[in-house]
Amino acid sequence: MDPSYDESTEAYRQSIKQFLATNLPRSWQGLQALAPDQRGPFAERWRALLAEHRLLAPSWPAEYGGGGLSLIEQVIVHEEFTKVGAPTGVPTDVLSINMLGPTIILCGTPEQKQHYLPRILSGEDRWCQGYSEPDAGSDLAGLKTRAELDGDEWVINGQKIWTSHTHLANWIFVLCRTDQSATKHKGISFLLCPLDQPGIDVRPIVNAAGSHEFNEVFFTDARTAAANIIGEPNEGWRITNQLLAYERGGDSTTIPLVVQAIVDRVIETAREHGRLADPVVRQRLTLLQARASTLHASGLRTLTNALSGQPLGAESSLSKIHWTELYQDATIAAIELCGADAAAHLSAATHVPLPPDAMGTTAAVEWVNHLLCARPASIYSGSNEIQRNIIGERVLGLPREPQGRV
């Protein structure tokens, strides 16, 4: 593993630093530091600027309006944006640009690429992900939402749940059972469906932190054009897995930067509370720092492997377990250091949803927000138990889990 980047890469880094220094407001402290009513408008203006400079979709080929950047250049962009807490888009862009866009580029028809990709970049189309159902989360292939062809339209009936940002989106990519007689993983199709229609009912779910991020989506004879399918009918499982790989990978060196910044703030919190000399606290902080350093080293190893052409394998599962559990343990340590200050905020009414990369302070209220936002991190994108199963079966060669009822 070579932990250094070469000279031309460092020159590219300077150009990104320059872009950020020129365009971010002076004394920028991150989106969360803006007044709540200014965050949305700023994010939209910033998104338009990124699109203009081809930094909104750095990994997409230039012919589709992307940055056409090499892998190492993408890493540099993400690292520099993360260091200063600059947004890389609006919340739906994680689904539209990082997940659906690359899937359309790889598996879509020329017409689909021409139609959907520019509309994603312009912000005209904003996507959400309709995978999970009340009885199909970890066991995703057990999904029951069904679609049938009626002339030149698919008719969709069923329910999705935990769909993030649906209230900010106008389209949903939705997994549907299109062949009832096929075995579980077969007979699933990957459909694209407009949300604004009478057959779709979106109901908010308020999470434990008191904020509205995800939803239930009910389909009752919802309709979408027959052509709105990625891949062939009944081959949606292949497309699903392709998209999940985009969801779980690709942040091998930026996540460690985010988590390191959080660990740094835990250490600062200990200093502010006069606890740095406490041997038990020191031991705990040392362990957090050691885990953050290990995460960084394994991220660099993943990047080195990717640069030499190796596909992302179980590293994404390892990284997911490692960073989410470190994020949770770091926030718990900070809360305990804040003591009664934090307890006062735990019962306070409203919490703001904080992404882990929010630039932050060491204030107790902010740690309470982080504590609540860290909990779901070990559930979304496939729970950590499922990631451990993947490692057990695909890396360690342990026997596969029994399938079905035992």
Ligand X SMILES: Cc1cc2nc3c(=O)[nH]c(=O)nc-3n(C[C@H](O)[C@H](O)[C@H](O)COP(=O)(O)OP(=O)(O)OC[C@H]3O[C@@H](n4cnc5c(N)ncnc54)[C@H](O)[C@@H]3O)c2cc1C
| Active site members | 247
Nearest distance in Å: CB 222, ligand X: 16
Nearest distance in Å: CB 386, ligand X: 6
Token digits for 79? 């690292």
Beta bridge partners of 201: 218
Q: Which stretch binds ligand X (CB under 6 A): 1-9, 99-107, 160-168, 297-305?
A: 160-168
Site string for ligand X, 199-218 (x = CB under 6 A): ---------------x----
Q: What is the footprint of ligand X within residues 74-133 (CB under 6 A)?
A: 128-132
Residues 141 and 244: their CA atoms lie apart, in Å, by 13
Residues 203 and 78: their CA atoms lie apart, in Å, by 34
Nearest distance in Å: CB 160, ligand X: 6
| Site membership for ligand X, residue 28 (CB under 6 A) | no
Number of residues that bind ligand X (CB under 6 A): 20
Distance of CA 121 to CAs 47, 74, 75, 99, 172, Å?
Answer: 9, 17, 20, 13, 16
Q: Residue 258 or 267: which CB sits closer to ligand X?
A: 258
50 in Cβ contact with 56 (< 8 Å): yes
Residues 30 and 87: their CA atoms lie apart, in Å, by 8
Q: What secondary structure, in 3-state letters, does 285-339 show?
A: HHHHHHHHHHHHHHHHHHHHHHHCCCCCCCHHHHHHHHHHHHHHHHHHHHHHHHC
Q: Residue 304 or 381: which CB sits closer to ligand X?
A: 381
| Site membership for ligand X, residue 241 (CB under 6 A) | no
Nearest distance in Å: CB 169, ligand X: 10
Q: Residue 163 or 254: which CB sits closer to ligand X?
A: 163
| Site membership for ligand X, residue 401 (CB under 6 A) | yes
Q: Tell me how far the alpha carbon of residue 355 is from its chain's centroid.
A: 10
The single residue among 123, 137, 199, 392 that binds ligand X, judged by CB under 6 A, is: 137
Beta bridge partners of 193: 172
Q: Footprint of ligand X on this chain (CB under 6 A)?
A: 128-132, 137-138, 162-164, 214, 376, 379-380, 382-383, 385-386, 389, 401
